[in-house]
């Protein structure tokens, strides 16, 4: 079912018929992270409220991650700015295959369609007459930036009958066609069975998990996006015009090379690292021209305090910075960004956080009062102890799969603003059903060789995907040995099986020119647009001057013989070592010895093994050995 969002495989360069660079559907790191903190604080109960009065409206611009609890009675839909393509206004509600904790519903059958998410309204007072001409309208999108639901999958609208205490389906649409735009639907409510106090409505989606034989492919699928839901009186089937001018996209990013960099690295780079402009994207949904005023503010935000205004900057060169927007027009307007993030602001030693709030001003008409939330967007510019090309939002998953990729390498290129110590890597591996992508790999750092990965600096075996709620769903993988890097380097992994590791791929930011893979002995540049969710992690205080700290490199003179071996292997290296670790083909440590040059391996069954000497001061090459008798 869910083989690829692009509906085809990428067979890249001359890497063999059965080896592929692919993207698949993925999990949700933001939801995983937020749910852990949300349910720890509030528990599983959703806040209750009195019966709502008309009008009912939500365009999902005023809530984050979960639906507004004053309007909705469950937490299954995902509120976001990244899944909807060409949204009606900033923010959409996404129904998919993940529960409120960011986990794939365990009850979903493989290869069959079943109900997954719900978006259920609070009780509404609909004790009205049919002559009041009540309509429920909404916009929906099949797929968007996410996975396309198939023909057997569907989005369903149901109404609740107070008298019968049951839900009845009143509208349904099947999948099968990826939509770039939203489609509006108007549903009249005239039957007396619905015209009661306590009326409710809900959306639900049918999804189907891939029947592909590889468990590492079975992940989040079948996204439906919803926007601009209105329930009110005095409407008609031609009531399709929305009296609003709305932001449709966030501002940012503000750094030229990365989304996030370490704070001290940024200060070392200086103003050169920051864009000098800000872009407002907004749309007029009405059939009349309006005059729009645009402005932005910059705030210094401490992790533990409320917002502290730093400075409000306006582009006075544009007069009052107002412009007419015609009916049904979209505008993308760029103005000068005057603020520079600097050390004069109140920030912690190891990080910094700023909020850029951009808003448009139209009028004060009462009819448009409840649309006001979508006049404003906020961009969070974080500085942390890592470099990131991604924004923390995984729309897809990326990996290498197929026969011949068991030892394939994936490398991600970074260029540091200053010399510093690399301690490890944050990686987001999207979760698959049954954790089918939990396979061992080598965590590896390479030198630069004229624009492609060169010699290995350090490689750690025995690493496999883990799943955590910290750092927005990322897991920290430390290196065996902290190393000092300067300029260009590469981080990534070497696989040990043909299965895909499903690293998160941010589709809204493109760093494909920094992604390299090696299947058959030569490096190739990725042709898949997006940014991998891999973030090298740095320290801030070197223990000694950087020039005096040697970069620890893999010894190239390590050898193991005979190979193939039967009962004994000989270790030959050009430096002292403390011991030897032997791993099986799945990356599990199966034997460890001292610094003997001859090791008895007669207890190991026939198969492929990886032999790695180690010491406190050196990092040695890992050698693949075949044991057969």
Provide the pLDDT for residue 512: 97
Residue 614 lies in a domain: yes
Cβ atoms of 447 and 608 within 8 Å: the answer is no
Domain's final residue, options 504, 525, 548: 548
Domain's final residue, options 181, 210, 232: 232
Burial of 272 (0-12, 13-18, 19+ CB in 10 A): exposed
The residues with which 534 forms a beta bridge, in sequence order, are: 427
Residues 417 and 448 in one domain: yes
Tell me, what CATH number does 57's domain have?
2.60.120.260
Residues 376 and 426 in one domain: no
pLDDT higher than threshold 60 for residue 360: yes
The residues with which 296 forms a beta bridge, in sequence order, are: 313, 358
pLDDT higher than threshold 60 for residue 553: no
Tell me, what CATH number does 503's domain have?
2.60.120
Residue 241 lies in a domain: no
Residue 451: Cβ within 10 Å count: 12
- Residue 226 sits at φ, ψ, to 5 deg, of -125, 145
pLDDT higher than threshold 50 for residue 91: yes
Tell me, what CATH number does 283's domain have?
2.60.40
Residues 190 and 136 in one domain: yes
CB neighbour list of residue 453: distance below 8 Å, 6 or more residues apart? 409, 411, 413, 446, 447, 490, 516, 518, 523
What are the tokens at 408?
Answer: 């394939």
Domain's final residue, options 383, 414, 435: 383
Cβ atoms of 500 and 507 within 8 Å: the answer is no
Residue 35 lies in a domain: no
The top-scoring range by mean pLDDT among 145-159, 588-602, 604-618 is: 145-159
Provide the pLDDT for residue 363: 67
Across the range 370-391, mean pLDDT stands at 89
Residues 520 and 561 in one domain: no
Residue 310 lies in a domain: yes
Q: Report the sign of the C-alpha dihedral through residues 517, 523, 527, 529, in that order.
A: positive
pLDDT higher than threshold 50 for residue 520: yes
Burial of 188 (0-12, 13-18, 19+ CB in 10 A): middle
Across the range 99-113, mean pLDDT stands at 79
Q: In this predicted model, which residue has the larger pLDDT, 548 or 110?
A: 110
Comparing 11-25, 170-184, 354-368, which segment has the lowest mean pLDDT? 11-25
- CA torsion, ordered 26, 27, 30, 33, to nearest 10 deg: -150
Domain count, the chain: 4
Model confidence at 609, pLDDT cuts 50, 70, 90, reads: confident
Cα distance between residue 116 and residue 76, in whole Å:
9
Provide the pLDDT for residue 543: 36
Provide the pLDDT for residue 219: 57
Residue 256 lies in a domain: no
pLDDT in tens, 272-309: 999 989 999 999 998 999 899 898 888 877 544 444 44
Cα distance between residue 495 and residue 519, in whole Å:
10
The top-scoring range by mean pLDDT among 22-36, 198-212, 594-608 is: 594-608
Across the beta sheet with 475-485, what order do the strands follow?
A: 475-485, 420-427, 534-538
Comparing 82-91, 195-204, 211-220, which segment has the lowest mean pLDDT? 211-220
Provide the pLDDT for residue 431: 67
pLDDT in tens, 423-432: 999 999 876 6
Provide the pLDDT for residue 16: 36
What are the tokens at 561?
Answer: 């013989």
Provide the pLDDT for residue 211: 54
pLDDT in tens, 392-413: 888 788 988 888 888 899 999 9
Provide the pLDDT for residue 25: 57
Residue 622, domain extent: 554-627
Residue 15 lies in a domain: no
Residues 494 and 599 in one domain: no
Across the range 525-545, mean pLDDT stands at 78
Cα distance between residue 179 and residue 140, in whole Å:
9
Model confidence at 496, pLDDT cuts 50, 70, 90, reads: confident
Provide the pLDDT for residue 309: 45
pLDDT higher than threshold 90 for residue 55: yes
Residue 41 lies in a domain: no
Provide the pLDDT for residue 468: 60
pLDDT higher than threshold 60 for residue 314: no
Provide the pLDDT for residue 315: 32
Residues 223 and 117 in one domain: yes
Residues 531 and 565 in one domain: no
Residues 75 and 217 in one domain: yes
The whole-chain average pLDDT of the chain stands at: 82
Tell me, what CATH number does 601's domain have?
2.60.40.10
Provide the pLDDT for residue 351: 82
pLDDT above 70 coverage of the chain, percent: 79
Provide the pLDDT for residue 542: 37
Residue 422 lies in a domain: yes
Cα distance between residue 444 and residue 459, in whole Å:
4
Residues 210 and 343 in one domain: no
pLDDT higher than threshold 70 for residue 594: yes
Residues 99 and 191 in one domain: yes
Residues 446 and 540 in one domain: yes
pLDDT in tens, 247-279: 999 998 999 999 999 999 999 998 899 998 999
Comparing 42-46, 245-249, 445-449, which segment has the lowest mean pLDDT? 42-46
Residues 603 and 506 in one domain: no
Provide the pLDDT for residue 312: 40
Across the range 458-478, mean pLDDT stands at 74
Model confidence at 19, pLDDT cuts 50, 70, 90, reads: very low
pLDDT in tens, 570-589: 998 888 888 888 877 666 67
pLDDT in tens, 121-148: 999 999 999 999 999 999 999 999 888 9
pLDDT higher than threshold 70 for residue 76: yes
Provide the pLDDT for residue 546: 34
pLDDT higher than threshold 60 for residue 598: yes
């Amino acid at each position: 079912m869910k083989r690829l969002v692009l509906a085809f495989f990428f067979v890249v360069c001359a890497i063999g018929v059965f080896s592929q660079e692919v993207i698949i559907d993925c999990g949700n790191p933001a939801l995983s992270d937020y749910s852990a903190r949300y349910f720890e604080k509030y528990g599983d109960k959703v806040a209750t409220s009195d019966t709502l009065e008309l009008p009912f409206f939500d365009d999902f611009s005023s809530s984050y991650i979960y639906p507004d609890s004053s309007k909705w009675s469950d937490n299954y839909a995902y509120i976001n700015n990244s899944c909807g393509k060409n949204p009606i206004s900033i923010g959409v509600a996404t129904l998919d295959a993940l529960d409120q904790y960011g986990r794939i519903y365990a009850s979903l059958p493989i290869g069959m369609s079943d109900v997954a998410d719900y978006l259920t309204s609070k009780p509404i007072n609909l004790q009205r007459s049919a002559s009041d001409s009540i309509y429920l309208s909404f916009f929906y999108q099949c797929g968007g930036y996410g996975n396309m639901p198939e023909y057997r999958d569907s989005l369903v609208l149901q109404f609740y009958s107070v008298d019968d205490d049951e839900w009845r389906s009143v509208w349904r649409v099947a999948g099968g066609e990826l939509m770039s735009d939203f489609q509006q639907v108007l549903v009249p409510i005239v039957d007396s069975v619905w015209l009661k106090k306590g009326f409710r409505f809900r959306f639900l989606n049918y999804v189907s998990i891939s029947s592909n034989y590889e468990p590492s492919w079975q992940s989040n699928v079948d996204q439906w996006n919803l926007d601009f839901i209105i329930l009110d009186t005095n409407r008609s089937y031609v009531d399709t015009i929305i009296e609003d001018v709305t932001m449709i996209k966030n501002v940012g990013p503000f750094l030229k090379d990365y989304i996030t960099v370490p704070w001290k690295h940024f200060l070392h780079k200086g103003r050169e690292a920051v864009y000098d402009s800000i872009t407002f994207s907004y749309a007029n949904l009405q059939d009349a021209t309006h005059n729009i005023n645009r402005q932005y503010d910059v705030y210094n935000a401490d992790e533990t305090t409320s917002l502290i205004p730093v400075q409000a900057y306006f582009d006075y060169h544009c007069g009052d910075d107002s412009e007419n927007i015609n009916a049904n027009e979209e505008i993308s307007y760029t103005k000068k960004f005057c603020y520079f993030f600097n050390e004069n602001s109140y920030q912690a030693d190891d990080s910094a956080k700023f909020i850029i709030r951009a808003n448009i001003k139209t009028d004060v008409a009462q009819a448009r009062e409840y649309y006001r939330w979508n006049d404003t967007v906020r961009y969070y510019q974080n500085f942390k102890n890592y470099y990131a090309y991604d924004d923390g939002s995984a729309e897809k998953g990326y990996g290498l799969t197929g026969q011949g990729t068991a030892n394939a390498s994936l490398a991600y290129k970074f260029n540091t603003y200053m010399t510093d110590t690399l301690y490890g890597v944050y990686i987001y591996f999207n979760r698959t059903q049954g954790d089918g992508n939990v396979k061992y790999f080598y965590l590896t750092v390479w030198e630069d060789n004229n624009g492609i990965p060169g010699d290995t600096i350090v490689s750690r075996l025995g690493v496999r995907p883990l799943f955590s709620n910290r750092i927005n769903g990322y897991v920290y993988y430390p290196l065996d040995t902290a190393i000092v890097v300067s300029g260009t380097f590469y981080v990534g992994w070497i696989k040990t099986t043909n299965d895909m590791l499903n690293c998160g791929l941010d589709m809204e930011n493109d760093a494909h020119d920094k992604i390299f893979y090696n299947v058959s002995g030569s490096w190739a540049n990725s042709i898949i647009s997006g940014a991998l969710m891999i973030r090298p992690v740095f320290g801030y205080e070197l223990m000694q001057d950087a020039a005096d700290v040697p970069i620890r490199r893999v010894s190239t003179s390590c050898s193991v013989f005979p190979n193939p071996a039967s009962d004994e292997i000989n270790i030959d290296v050009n430096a002292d070592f403390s011991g030897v670790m032997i791993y099986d083909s799945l990356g599990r440590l199966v034997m460890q010895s001292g610094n003997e040059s001859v090791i008895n391996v007669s207890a190991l069954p026939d198969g492929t093994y990886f032999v790695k000497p180690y010491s406190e001061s050196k990092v040695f090459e890992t050698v693949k050995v075949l044991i057969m008798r």
